[in-house]
Amino acid sequence: AQPEAPAPVAVPMRDLEWGQINFLHTTDTHGWLGGHLQEAQYSADWGDYISFTEHMRKKADEKGVDLLVVDTGDRVEGNGLYDGSTPKGNYTYGIFGQQNVDILCTGNHELYQEDTITREHRITVPHFKKSYIASNLDYIEPETGNQIPQAQRYTKFKTKNRGYTIVALGFIFDFDRNANNSVVIPVEETMKKEWFQSAIREKPDLFVVSGHVGLRMKEFEQIFKVIRDANWYTPIAFLGGHAHVRDARKFDDKAFAIASGRYFETIGWMSIDGIQKKSKDSASAEATVTFKRRYIDNNVLGLQHHAGVHEADFLTPHGRNVSKMITDARKALNLDHKIGCSPKDLWMTRAQYPSDTSIFSWLENEVFPDAIVNKERADKPRLTILNTGAIRFDIFKGAFTKDSTYLISPFTSKFNYIPNVPYDVAKKVIQLLNSGGSVFEAELNTKYLSIPEQMAPSPFLGREPASATHILPQFFDTSNGQQPLVADDTDDTDDNDEPQLVSGYTTKDDLGDDGDDAVHSPIKFYGVPNCVQSEVGFPEAADPETVDLIFIDYVQPWIIPALKFSGGDYDTDNITVYLNATLTDVIAGWVETHWTEGC
């Protein structure tokens, strides 16, 4: 039987504030449609979300306001429910498609592999024909080689209850690692196109810009400026993602953005009041527009609370059916099959790196020395480099299942190497990967090696890097050692009768610190480097003369320039396969042989 997620605990809640137009927003779900089986706070599944949405649409009708459901991409890669089937997504496209989504767009994970792009084009785009928007994404038809829009460039529609006219756009950031059957048109270039120039002159009551774009990245700002120049008083709502964080950004009094986290932990809520229907002339300058936001922890207790329905009435027949689809799919994929038992929690950013409870230290010190070995080269000293972005999630103490392998790293990258690199040259590579700078061309920005949370950080997350040249990554403070990204401002002395809070997100954004629906005590998050490295087989007495330089193939574009800068003249001809296995396989194999007892 499928393991039940532990029941969520009731916590103090902040209510949703409704406006004339309201949004429910998901992003970067990465296949987590079954919810979090090991974390009660995020244990609601896609079926529960459908039940919730149905109640909320009814509520909106009763209030005479509008509700729009939005998803901003990265629906794939990162959970056994998607990655565990052949072909990938056999179950998830159908399950996701059960939700009535009003606006959706593409993320970069829909674009890494040709077959993912094709499935998006053949399954998701036609299923959401009216709501899928691809403002800057084209598809190359395999039959003809023609370059066509992946979906409509924008939509214009009237809302159900208030009859507001909306122009909606759907962007992806200027992503350049997409597979060859797609073309991402840079945002600035897109905005010069005739269709875009007409769209922003449609005179709607509200612009909705959905995008797989981090709120602190340049693209939304560029779009805001161009729309605002042509529409001085029209409200603009941005719904973003990609950075895997809860965040809200104010562009001006009438333009506001939210991002709604990652992995279906969060359902974002944005509401807008003060929207004025356009008369023949344009909207009045005096109209005061207010934006509110809430980050909903995705669990049934909280969803019931916000829907205002009794526990017994929460699950709708449709929602219940979708939950059953999920349970059946997980069973068919054997996702709960136990591979081993983790003796402790291992964290990506909730523990310092290096440390006993850092997942990166565990990989460096235990997994890689043992599991990344080419038998023919086993006697050679070696350095093995992994980008931290290759790891996607924490490991919890207890059962480590088939599903866990995909949660931790779903990617198909394997391990390549250059043999016999002089150690004096090879040892400098990791430093360059972690310090970035002018060694690499602009498109090889080393931030793309790191975890999404660190790529375009919110100013509320922590300090910017102290200098561009030091070898520590963002959020590190070189003078004091590693600092938490979120200050722990709880008072540990328990001298009052207030209930103990459950730890969780305590988001700070442009609107303040009251965005999260559940009042939590803070969790500390620590910065991680762009890459980590394992040293294996080094002689005890002195440094080795030469080493095999091994790296996960995602990092390959950075390796040659880093070697060049360090005095090593190599090109891609010098690179060959070291281990024909993915990181997912490597971890699963190691767990199976080492974590054999305990649960």
At its nearest, how many Å lie between ligand LLZGTKA7 and the CB of residue 291?
25
Q: Which of 387, 405, 534, 584 binds ligand LLZGTKA7 (CB under 6 A)?
A: 387
Which of the stretches 162-170, 315-323, 339-347, 442-450 binds ligand LLZGTKA7 when contact is defined by CB under 6 A?
A: 442-450
Which residue of the chain is nearest ligand LLZGTKA7 when measured via CB?
Answer: 389
Which of the stretches 318-326, 342-350, 416-424, 445-453 binds ligand LLZGTKA7 when contact is defined by CB under 6 A?
A: 445-453
- Which among 376, 367, 420 is positioned nearest to 552, based on CA atoms? 367
Which of the stretches 264-272, 323-331, 384-392, 487-495 binds ligand LLZGTKA7 when contact is defined by CB under 6 A?
A: 384-392
Residues 546-575 that bind ligand LLZGTKA7 (CB under 6 A): 554
Report the side by side order of strands in the sheet with 137-140. Answer: 147-149, 137-140, 182-184
For ligand LLZGTKA7, give the closer residue by CB, 134 or 289: 134
Residue 319 as a binder of ligand LLZGTKA7 (CB under 6 A): the answer is no
Q: Which of 240, 319, 340, 452 binds ligand LLZGTKA7 (CB under 6 A)?
A: 452
Which of the stretches 107-115, 160-168, 264-272, 540-548 binds ligand LLZGTKA7 when contact is defined by CB under 6 A?
A: 107-115
Q: Which of 109, 228, 249, 306 binds ligand LLZGTKA7 (CB under 6 A)?
A: 109
- Which among 59, 45, 64, 51 is positioned nearest to 16, based on CA atoms? 59
**Using an 8 Å Cβ cutoff, are 333 and 81 in contact?**
yes
Q: Which of 245, 283, 326, 449 binds ligand LLZGTKA7 (CB under 6 A)?
A: 449
Residues 209-248 that bind ligand LLZGTKA7 (CB under 6 A): 242, 244
Residue 411 as a binder of ligand LLZGTKA7 (CB under 6 A): the answer is yes
| Number of chain residues interacting with ligand LLZGTKA7 (CB under 6 A) | 16
For residue 503, give both structure tokens.
């730890």
- Report DSSP letters for 452-479, one per residue: GGGTS--TTS-PPPS-SSSSS-TT-BTT
At its nearest, how many Å lie between ligand LLZGTKA7 and the CB of residue 93?
19
**Using an 8 Å Cβ cutoff, are 151 and 182 in contact?**
no
CA separation for the pair 76, 31 (Å, rounded): 5
The answer for residues whose C-beta is within 8 angstroms of residue 211's C-beta and 6 or more apart is 72, 105, 169, 170, 171, 172, 173, 219, 220, 223, 238, 239, 240, 241
For residue 556, give both structure tokens.
């390959």
Burial of 561-595, coded b for 16+ CB within 10 Å and e otherwise, reads ebbebbebebeeebbeebbebbbbebbbbbbeeeb
CA separation for the pair 382, 417 (Å, rounded): 10
Q: Which of 74, 265, 516, 517 binds ligand LLZGTKA7 (CB under 6 A)?
A: 74
- Write out the residues near ligand LLZGTKA7 by the rule CB under 6 A: 74, 108-109, 112, 242, 244, 387, 389-390, 411, 413, 448-450, 452, 554
